[in-house]
């Protein structure tokens, strides 16, 4: 059970007093895969949610899709729904001779509150195009076209693309065939792995040989952080922008994974699903791995009366 053997990841401190705590599972591995820090059980099996997207993108490249740079970063994204993201999704689809009508992800408003408010003010309804996983779905469609597979049913776990994704997850995590398969919030198949397996996968992305699908994914993410998240308020984007060569991808329900360019990597699952402690925990783990984390990056303030009166601290 995921709640068994969980440890304390972070304390919420207000006025010098620990007000609450976040528990979960974390591992930080050096470039050789040796644990440097661990909390809870790194071998617990869980759903990595959108942190799995870079691995899914590897499978799409192996299927033959020709994406690089910002559009490949967008394929790995939980984007904010900004105009550049929406335009990028259209560009991926157009390159495959397809349109937004082919998208089968769950319609939604843009993930960014500000962008979502503007979307509503312009009279737009929830849309697959605006939903934060549309880059991944557009790339999946483009991969099907490149491989000569049917686009219809591309979300089906039995579809050739999803079989290739499953194989990539098994290979890159080192966990073997996923124990659990379910449906993610966007409607695509979601495969389980271990916390340690997710960290291993991110390490393999950044240490892969140039020209490989893994290396292409890592290069695109590190070079285009705003395409992986958004221009403002996005943890993965801020961390990648602040630490050169880092790749980082967060996921729903308190998940995040990151890898430094040398191959040291970490992954975390917050037990209560909260995203609040994620920036604090990730930066602490990266510092433990020797990462040059700028002062103040990842800090989360606790406020009272609109002013800082405490902070979230790594345990």
Do residues 109 and 80 touch, judged by C-beta distance below 8 A?
no
Residue 134 belongs to some domain of the structure: no
In tens digits, what is the pLDDT along the chain, a chain of 315 residues?
Answer: 899 999 999 999 999 999 999 999 999 999 999 999 999 999 999 999 999 999 999 999 999 999 999 999 999 999 999 999 999 999 999 999 999 999 999 999 999 999 999 999 999 999 999 999 999 999 999 999 999 999 999 999 999 999 999 999 999 999 999 999 999 999 999 999 999 999 999 999 999 999 999 999 999 999 999 999 999 999 999 999 999 999 999 999 999 999 999 999 999 999 999 999 999 999 999 999 999 999 999 999 999 999 999 999 999
Residue 280 belongs to some domain of the structure: yes
Instruction: Dig out the tokens for 166 from the structure.
Output: 């499953």
* CATH number (domain holding residue 49): 3.40.710
Residue 49 belongs to some domain of the structure: yes
Residue 140 belongs to some domain of the structure: no
Count the domains in the chain. 1
Residue 113 belongs to some domain of the structure: no
Residue 166 belongs to some domain of the structure: yes
Q: Which domain holds residue 28?
A: 7-63+157-314
Residue 112 belongs to some domain of the structure: no
Residues 6+ apart with CB under 8 A from 61: 67, 72, 143, 213, 216, 217
Q: Identify the sign of the CA torsion 297, 303, 307, 311.
A: negative
Residue 11 belongs to some domain of the structure: yes
């Amino acid at each position: 059970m995921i709640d068994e053997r969980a440890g304390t990841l972070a304390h919420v401190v207000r006025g010098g007093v620990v007000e609450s705590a976040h528990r979960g599972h974390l591992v930080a591995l050096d470039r050789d895969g040796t644990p440097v820090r661990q909390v809870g059980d790194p071998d617990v099996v869980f759903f990595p949610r959108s942190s799995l997207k870079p691995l899914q993108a590897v499978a799409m490249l192996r299927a033959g899709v020709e994406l690089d740079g910002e559009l490949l970063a967008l394929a790995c994204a939980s984007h904010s729904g900004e105009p550049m993201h929406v335009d990028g999704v259209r560009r991926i689809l157009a390159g495959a001779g397809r349109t937004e009508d082919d998208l089968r992800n769950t319609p939604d408003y843009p993930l960014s509150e500000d962008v979502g408010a503007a979307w509503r003010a312009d009279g737009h309804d929830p849309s697959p195009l605006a939903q934060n996983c549309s880059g991944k779905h557009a790339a999946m469609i483009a991969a099907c076209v490149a491989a000569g597979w049917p686009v219809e049913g591309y979300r089906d776990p039995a579809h050739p693309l999803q079989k290739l994704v499953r194989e990539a997850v098994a290979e890159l995590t080192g966990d073997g065939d996923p124990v659990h398969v379910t449906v993610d919030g966007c409607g695509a198949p979601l495969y389980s792995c271990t916390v340690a397996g997710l960290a291993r996968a991110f390490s393999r992305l950044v240490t892969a040989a140039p020209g490989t699908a893994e290396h292409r994914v890592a290069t695109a993410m590190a070079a285009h952080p705003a395409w992986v998240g958004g221009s403002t308020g996005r943890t993965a984007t801020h961390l990648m922008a602040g630490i050169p060569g880092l790749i980082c991808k967060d996921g729903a329900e308190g998940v995040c994974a990151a890898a430094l360019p040398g191959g040291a990597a970490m992954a975390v699952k917050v037990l209560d699903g909260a995203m609040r402690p994620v920036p604090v925990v990730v930066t602490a783990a990266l510092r433990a791995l020797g990462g040059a984390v700028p002062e103040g990056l990842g800090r989360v303030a606790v406020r009272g009366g609109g002013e800082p009166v405490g902070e979230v601290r790594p345990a």
